[in-house]
Structure 1
Amino acid sequence: MTLASGSTLVIALGGNALLSARQPATGGSQRANIANVAAIIAPLLAHYRIVITHGNGPQVGLLAAQTPDADWPLDVLGAESEGMIGYVIEQELANRAPKQLFATLLSQVIVDPNDLAFQHPTKPIGLIHQDRSRLTSLGWDSVEVAAGGWRRVVASPPPLRIVGLETLQVLLAAKVTIICLGGGGIPVGLHGDGRLEGVEAVIDKDLASSLLARDLDADALIMLTNVDGIMARFGTPEASLIRRTTPNLLAAQAFQAGTMAPKVAAAAAMARGGKIAMIGALGDLQGLIDGTKGTWVLPDGSLV
């Protein structure tokens, strides 16, 4: 399988690619990282229809820590971070491709407020704290990270439906490069009377991006991260990069929650719909598209 010119790509950027949890939490750091991302993506704009999604873990956690007394809910902070990050991504891309049309949109995503995920918060957000007492004093759940220190964790229910999909379809048909679904989208619950209301949660960006890619009938979902791709025998001396795989082959392997597991699930869902999912490093984006870098997840039966 190859990607022809004019194909529709959903490119999902990890939140740490925009502001690492261990970087200084400054606008300058984020701007520099996004400028690097834009330089890598901009050359593709002339050849593909592109929708960019992005994480917001460090950013939304930072906003929450700055306003604990104001009791701003996570859905509002998620919207704030979507606008903040999307603005910089759009500006940096537009500076490199001034003839291209862009639109940055806030994205509401429906979740189930009664999902079991709310009983077991697992999604890390915010910066790494060396002193757990700061998180505890705010009444937040936290988890120790492998590199040392603590991060806040919140519920991460699965995305059920993207609100405003029709608007995205119209923009994509008009060849507008779209930046949306920041942080997996703004989590909202749907009431019986059709009313939407914010939910205190964070949606996994890769699962939401996969849902979006399938709803838009995109040709490929590209998840960019800080590793080369999916590794077989990860964490052992025999670890090796998986270049081509399928959902059935992935199902035979175990992936720890909070690591590669959401990306694997997102990729498998995309491939089961007959399309391609790719996982790899940001700097390898062109190689991913060419098939020379990272991991491709293809429909079952494709490797026969």
Structure 2
Amino acid sequence: MWWGGIPVVLDENGDYKSVPAVIDKDYATAKLAELVDADYLFILTAVDYVAINFGTPQQRDLTEITIEEAKNYCQEGQFASGSMRPKVEAAISFAESKKGRTAVIASLEKAPLAMMGKSGTKIV
């Protein structure tokens, strides 16, 4: 198996040319956790919980959701593509990669509480 290198594509002449690429830290972290056979993935961010209806009077912090619920919230557009959505999608990817895996999205400030199950959003 080969990892890394410069991202390339074939141009119209069949030659390789380099292209700019971004590696998303959340997806990369989830993949690494999967490859080392971790049981838990903690994605630490600036908020204590994942929330639906964020920034509205109907905002609701989520403490524990299933993979299916998380997928449904993503399909509903509940999470911004530039902020929470990649975190939730990475958590889904990890949690569904093997039975018994759990992903937690929590604030860095409350990471110790999240490890004790007292803060953060668990995706199971």
Q: What TM-score, normalized to structure 2?
A: 0.79
User: Bigger radius of gyration, 1 or 2?
Assistant: 1
2:115 matched to which residue of 1? 289
1:86-134 deviation per Cα after TM superposition (whole angstroms, max 9, x unaligned): xxxxxxxxxxxxxxxxxxxxxxxxxxxxxxxxxxxxxxxxxxxxxxxxx
1:173-222 deviation per Cα after TM superposition (whole angstroms, max 9, x unaligned): xxxxxxxxxxxxx763379xxxxx97522211001111111111111111
1:230 matched to which residue of 2? 50
Q: Is the 8 A contact 2:104 2:121 kept in 1?
A: yes
1:212 aligns with 2:32: yes
Which one has the bigger helix percentage? 1
1:278 to 104, 110, 113: 104
Letter in 1 for 2:103: A
RMSD: 2.3
162 and 198 in structure 1: CA distance in 2 versus 1, 3 angstrom threshold: farther
1:201-259 deviation per Cα after TM superposition (whole angstroms, max 9, x unaligned): 22110011111111111111111111112102212112121000111001221222112
Q: Distance in 1 between matches of 2:18 and 2:67?
A: 33
1:188 aligns with 2:6: yes
1:266 aligns with 2:84: no
Q: How many corresponding residue pairs?
A: 111
Letter in 1 for 2:121: T
Instruction: State the identity as a percent.
Output: 34
Q: Distance in 2 between matches of 1:263 and 1:200?
A: 22
Q: Distance in 2 between matches of 1:272 and 1:258?
A: 22
Unaligned segments of structure 1, at least 5 residues: 1-160, 164-185, 192-196, 299-304
1:88 matched to which residue of 2? none
2:14 matched to which residue of 1? none
Q: Is the 8 A contact 2:40 2:104 kept in 1?
A: yes
Where relative contact order (Cα < 8 A, 6+ residues apart) is larger, the structure is: 2
Q: Distance in 2 between matches of 1:187 and 1:223?
A: 26
Q: Distance in 2 between matches of 1:162 and 1:236?
A: 46
Q: What TM-score, normalized to structure 1?
A: 0.34
Letter in 2 for 1:262: P
Structure 1 ranges of 4+ moved more than 4 A: none
What is the DSSP-based 3-state SS (H/G/I as helix, E as strand, rest coil) of the residue aligned with 1:258? coil
Q: Is the 8 A contact 1:280 1:294 kept in 2?
A: yes
Q: Is the 8 A contact 2:52 2:59 kept in 1?
A: yes
